[in-house]
Structure 1
Amino acid sequence: MMGRIPSRAFTTAALAALTLLGGCSWFGGSNAPKPAPLEQISPQLAVSVAWQGRVDSVKFPLSVATPKGQYVLAGTDGVVQALSAVDGASLWRADLNQGLAAGVGSDGRYAAVVTRNSELVVLDEGKVLWRKTLKTPVVTAPFVAGERVFVLTLDRMVLAFDALDGRRLWELRRPGDALTLQQSGVIGAYGNTLVVGQGARLAGVDSLRGTVQWEAPVSTPRGTNEVERLADLVAPVVRSGELLCARAFQSAVGCVNAERGGPVWSRNVGGTQGLGGDAELIVGADASDRITAWATRNGDVQWTADQFQNRRLSAPAVLDRAVVFGDGEGYVHFLSRDKGKTLQRLPTDGSPIATAPVVSGNTLLIVTRNGGLFALRPQ
């Protein structure tokens, strides 16, 4: 995630949201392009399955929190749980008895989700602390830090609550576009600053007062109508030092300097899923699942890979030895960092991978739409 906010020391858009990703990217359809066949490979990377588990089906934009060696996650049915990253052992479990629309955000103690009834629910190590009904739908997982819970609503309003008692601390309303994207947006932190996606811009917000400190564009939306100009930033985002790198939906990939609050580089490229990366590489797939790796510092193209055309790739994870994508048929693909060549491929349960592979220590968690949990360890 994008850093940590210390503890307390420290005209809305029309809701004509597009369900673009829910309809086409997750599952495809009868008119979807045929996915490229799986290539013949000679495995060059050993990967073991450390443990497996299950949640209910994942029919919402899932985010998995990774505080202190844990995976905190949930299924569509509203069961929220914390699992040990080492062996998958249950640390706590809570059944909210309501379906979820967004989740999960956690700092290791507090966890927050949003139900289909637009109810923000905050738990303290598995025990419900409070519930708060929101006026606007939410599809982005709340962000929890510094004993506060931050929420980004579908119309790009930002809300801050006291994690202990649910008291509303502030709200930030911005003029917005007529359309917003029904896909996980960007919310996190850089130092003491809350960082949120506001359309095609990344904004730094004072976490105590809710005032905007800076804005930096990732993309300049163009088009003849509101649909073509839709360029919301989508999660996940990559942080490397002062740089925060993000994808603007179907528009561009770019990095901004969170210390100065200004853009560093941007490249016009389509795509619907977020990015993976580290201090050297930023990696993402375009709308046809052609993968590109850019140099983090300046955006120069390092390599491209087209062996996964139309396979409905997830956002990636970038490891020390490999770049990892999931696809729409439940396969997990490991690519070399230097050239993008396929090193290994593993099956899961045959359903689409629900979110980017999630790294905690030496464990890589894969979550499928059918609720399968597969913890992998590259050797």
Structure 2
Amino acid sequence: MNATVRQGVPPRPARGAWWMIGVAALALAACSSGPKKPQPTPLEPVTALLPVQQAWTQSIGAVDPLLVPVVRGDAIALASAAGAVVVLDGASGRVRWRAEAGAPMAAGVGFDGQRVALVTRDNDLTVLTERGVAWRQRLASRPFTPPFVAGERVFVLGGDRSVIAFDARDGRRLWSQSSRGTEPLVLQQPGVLGAVGNTLIAGIGGRLVGLDPDSGRVLWDAVVGRSRGANEIERLVDLVGRVGRDGDVVCVRAFQSAVGCVDAVRGRTLWTQSADGVSGVQADAERVYGTESNGRVVAWRRTDGERAWTNERLLHRGVTAPLVLGRSLAVGDAQGHVHVLARADGAFLNRLATDGSPIVDGPLLVGNTLVAVTRNGGVYAWRPQ
């Protein structure tokens, strides 16, 4: 787990930076003296019950885990850790346009089909078009969640759990909404920021919050995960991307705490279930799908959260968030495989190989093309035969 001190929260007496160093030292000591990390479960042979063929490949350079790719329409936007932004055509893999941010990147990308938004390691929110850098704005706190670009606005979820809106055309700051939480730590991985209809949704700690995108006014606040534990690290709770959606129902995961669904019109939590996972979920009208920390793939009933099925044949393989793909489900792993499972019962339908480096975030769907991006910068695309 990676956590960071929340900016803007003063350190407690006799703690500060040395306290964080002590936590890191204790973690390292535990890793060195504790039990060895479990070995990945060996892969079993898989009969390709859902045949696919490789459509195209691309290479964009090494990708940081925070640089989550994003799909809009028939295009996919990606960013390399070195600062290159590439927009690819989903059908052919052709480069539609390329731009340079001018600095290494820390979080991104957001994409509305025309503009790409990201955050550099200098904490600059940077918006690019095919003509290059359109504008920059310095941020007070470092985001770990990709910016969200929609409705001629760029929305940012800061590391201090504030939400800020900028005019997408010129970078003018429109409004900001500060978190009323007091937790001193935040999770260093992409969180929840998006939209349902005309409501902006953001993960603030263990809560899913609905905001008016025009003013930042809080419309509703629904609890999914609650802080628990004896110390600040154990009490850390944040919602993590991806988000599952079925109409107006949004389903999310609270880090190592719970999975739950929220009615995004009424702002009401429909159900939550305890779940030990670190990556987001997907949903359809029947089930919510996710992966647990140990690699177990789980499906919960969408109506009440009861378990529908589990698949334990990918234990300890560093399995990613899932992707709903027709009647199937795709997950990546840390060895560069994409596993295709049946949505009905979790049975294996196919297995696809890449360059052997971990799949970033999880597979994506661009039109009718399944796409996976690896940490080494390989972009692989497949289609059903």
Q: Distance in 2 between matches of 1:139 and 1:269?
A: 23
Report if aligned partners of 2:191, 2:240 keep a CA contact under 8 Å in 1: yes
Could you tell me which runs of 5 or more consecutive residues in structure 2 were left unpaired when the two chains were aligned.
1-6, 12-16, 29-33
- Displacement of 1:30 in angstroms is 9.8
Give the match for residue 286 of structure 1. 292
- The 4+ residue runs of structure 1 with deviation greater than 4 A are 11-20
- Return the TM-score normalized by structure 2: 0.90
Q: Distance in 1 between matches of 2:202 and 2:116?
A: 19
The change in CA–CA distance for 1:264 and 1:287 in structure 2 (over 3 A counts) is same
Give the match for residue 48 of structure 1. 53
Report if aligned partners of 2:271, 2:305 keep a CA contact under 8 Å in 1: yes
The change in CA–CA distance for 1:47 and 1:14 in structure 2 (over 3 A counts) is farther
Give the match for residue 275 of structure 1. 281
**Could you tell me the percent identity over the aligned residues?**
46
Q: Distance in 1 between matches of 2:314 and 2:65?
A: 24
Give the match for residue 134 of structure 1. 139
Aligned-partner SS, 1:228: coil
Deviations along 1:82-109, one digit per CA (max 9) or x if unpaired, are: 1100001111100123111111111111
Larger deviation, residues 205-214 vs 294-303? 294-303
- Displacement of 1:291 in angstroms is 1.2
- Return the TM-score normalized by structure 1: 0.91
Report if aligned partners of 1:13, 1:156 keep a CA contact under 8 Å in 2: no
**Between Structure 1 and Structure 2, how many residues are aligned?**
363
- Displacement of 1:31 in angstroms is 3.8
Which of the numbers 107, 113, 117 marks the counterpart of 1:108?
113
Give the match for residue 309 of structure 1. 315
Aligned-partner SS, 2:186: coil
Q: Distance in 2 between matches of 1:251 and 1:126?
A: 44
Q: Distance in 1 between matches of 2:218 and 2:147?
A: 19
Deviations along 1:203-259, one digit per CA (max 9) or x if unpaired, are: 001111112111001122221111111120000101111101000000000000000
The change in CA–CA distance for 1:163 and 1:107 in structure 2 (over 3 A counts) is same
Amino acid at match of 2:222: A
Q: Distance in 2 between matches of 1:12 and 1:274?
A: 27
Whether 1:255 aligns to 2:270 is no
Amino acid at match of 2:152: E
Higher relative contact order (CA 8 A, sep 6+): 1
Superposed CA RMSD in Å reads 2.2
- Displacement of 1:60 in angstroms is 3.5
Which of the numbers 168, 171, 175 marks the counterpart of 2:180?
175
Q: Distance in 2 between matches of 1:287 and 1:117?
A: 32
Whether 1:223 aligns to 2:233 is no
Give the match for residue 295 of structure 1. 301
- Displacement of 1:12 in angstroms is 4.7
Give the match for residue 3 of structure 2. none
The change in CA–CA distance for 1:14 and 1:266 in structure 2 (over 3 A counts) is farther
Could you tell me which runs of 5 or more consecutive residues in structure 1 were left unpaired when the two chains were aligned.
1-10
Aligned-partner SS, 1:214: strand
Larger deviation, residues 247-256 vs 213-222? 213-222
1:170-249 equivalences under 5 Å are 170-176=175-181, 177-249=183-255
